[in-house]
Copies of this chain bind each other. A is one copy, B any other.
Amino acid sequence: MSFELTRTLLDGIRSDVAEGRDSAVQEVLKELHPADIAQVIDRLDQEDAVYVFRLLDSEESAEVLLNLDEDRREELLASLTSREIAEDVLEHIDSDDAADVMSELSEEKQREVIALLDDQEQREDLEELLSYQEGTAGALMAKELVKVRTDWTVARAIVEMRRQAQEVDHVYTIYVVDKDDQLYGVLPLKQLLFSAESTRTLIKHICDDEIVSVKADTDVEEVVKLMKKYDVVVLPVVDDRDHLIGRITFDDVMDVMTEEATEDYQLASGISEDVDATDSPLVQVRARLPWLLIGLAGGILSSQIIAQYEEELQIDPKMAFFMPLIAATAGNVGVQSSAIVVQGLAAGTLDGVNLLARLWKELRVAVISASVCGILIYLVNLALQQSQALSYTVSIALFTVILTAAMFGTLIPLLLERLKVDPAVATGPFVTTLNDITGLLTYFTVGHFMYDMFL
């Protein structure tokens, strides 16, 4: 199976829709995986998207809905009645996905939809899932799972598993709980293959009791770390008394990883909020302009600082030549230092490393880079036959600026982390701007002394 979204396919569907050939559209979509249908619907304009979506049968449309772009999903959800959401969507999807869909509705609509659900257990599950705070394991987990008890025989377990499996779409793991419903272990598929022969064996004796689990209020970042570290496909979630209350599957974690990576990358690039190429220009401006304004404010501040040194510029206008070099290098060094810290914090390699040790290491890196850059630029200025005062100023300032930018770049994300702000902010325009300004201040201060000395 392989699918490529082509212009021909899209145009075909558009013209079928325009001329009301419903069955032709259904014919084409029937062959596709829900994730592929979602890709098609993402590309249609809103009116066509709603129309095509309504041509799908309800089981399929629920799956398609889950795979749509967030904006498109919101649009389609808005076009559905509470009854349609309850009966055609929520009935056909897992509880974690159902909670995701619900969280995109207004509180009032949520209440309406929940009231329309037939199954009381489903209602309760959904209300429970919606009660967890966003960003916790509880908000990410699904309630559907297959579990057997330690004191059951294999024979009984098999009967129970069959019964439970009817309710669960994908069975990845079979959990084992004790008689108080506390998580005890897992029954690996491999054990299950071998166990049919010994139907009287107790589950306790064939299950694996080394199991990683999380609490409902565990942070999702921690969940990702654990799943990566211990290579588990599904992570069980327990309550405060170790009762098994849900499971988190790898696909949810992949989504979280993608979101986190995107967010870090966007912050580093000076984009707030989750925008992408498909968003409207105005949405993009809203996510991008604030960072530009920070840069602008920094630029204005820079201009005021330089104005203080107008005298130096009049003595030697050539001082201006190297302002961009100083500012850019300060910015680049700061971003590098911050990025190393941000990554270390994310990967946990900085856990337990003390601040001074981190700064000392960064200082050594900076001294090497600063020496190389300082000497190089001195040689360049020698070749360009610049004045001694200017050559010394540029080299000394560059050396100093690299050291200070590295220290700022290291300290700021660590400080932000303590203040519970995402340290990735540090790699964005904010710190670049700060380092630009510090760089220029250093440059003119050094220049002031040098010109006093040489002139």
Task: Using known A-B contacts A193-B158, A335-B269, determine if residue A296 contacts B329 with beta carbons closer than 8 Å.
Answer: yes
B320–A320 contact, CB under 8 A?
Answer: yes
Is A333 close to B, CB under 8 A?
yes
Please tell me if the beta carbons of B339 and A266 are within 8 angstroms of each other in the complex. yes
Decide if B268 touches A269 in the complex (CB within 8 Å).
yes
Q: Mark A284-327, 1 if CB is under 8 A from B, else 0.
A: 11001101110110111011101100100110011111111111
CA distance A328 to B350 in the complex (A): 31
Verify if A150 is at the interface (C-beta below 8 Å from B): no
Contact with B along A148-177 (1 / 0, CB 8 A): 000000000010011001001011100000
A295 to B334, CA, bound (A): 13
Complex Cα spacing A319 to B310, Å: 11
Which of A255, A266, A284, A310 has the most C-beta atoms of chain B within 10 angstroms of its own C-beta?
Answer: A284
Cα separation A319 to B264 with both chains bound (whole Å): 36
How many copies of this kind of chain does the complex include?
2
Please, which residues of chain B bring their CB within 8 A of the CB of A314?
317
Q: Is A115 an interface residue (CB 8 A)?
A: no
Q: A193-B165, A196-B196, A228-B254 are in contact. Are A321 and B306 (CB under 8 A)?
A: yes
Known contacts A261-B265, A339-B265; A1 and B211 CB within 8 A of each other: yes
In this complex, the member of A1, A331, A353, A361 whose beta carbon has the largest number of chain B beta carbons within 10 angstroms is A331
Query: With A and B bound together, what is the CA distance between A314 and B302 in angstroms?
Result: 20
Whether A318 pairs with B307 at a CB distance below 8 angstroms is: yes
Q: Does A223 contact B (CB under 8 A)?
A: no
Decide yes or no: A322 and B303 within 8 Å by CB, A194-B162, A212-B1, A353-B277 being known contacts. yes
Q: Are B336 and A324 in contact (CB under 8 A)?
A: no
Chain B residues, Cβ within 8 Å of A343: 262, 265-266, 276-277
A231 interfacial by beta-carbon distance below 8 Å: yes
For residue A202, CB closer than 8 A to chain B, the reply is no
A332 within 8 A of B: yes
A372 within 8 A of B: yes
Counting CB contacts under 8 A, is A369 at the interface? yes
Q: Does A324 lie within 8 Å of B324, measured CB to CB?
A: yes
Q: Judge whether B276 and A296 touch: CB under 8 Å.
A: no
| B190 adjacent to A293 (CB under 8 Å) | no
- A5-B352 in contact (CB<8A): yes
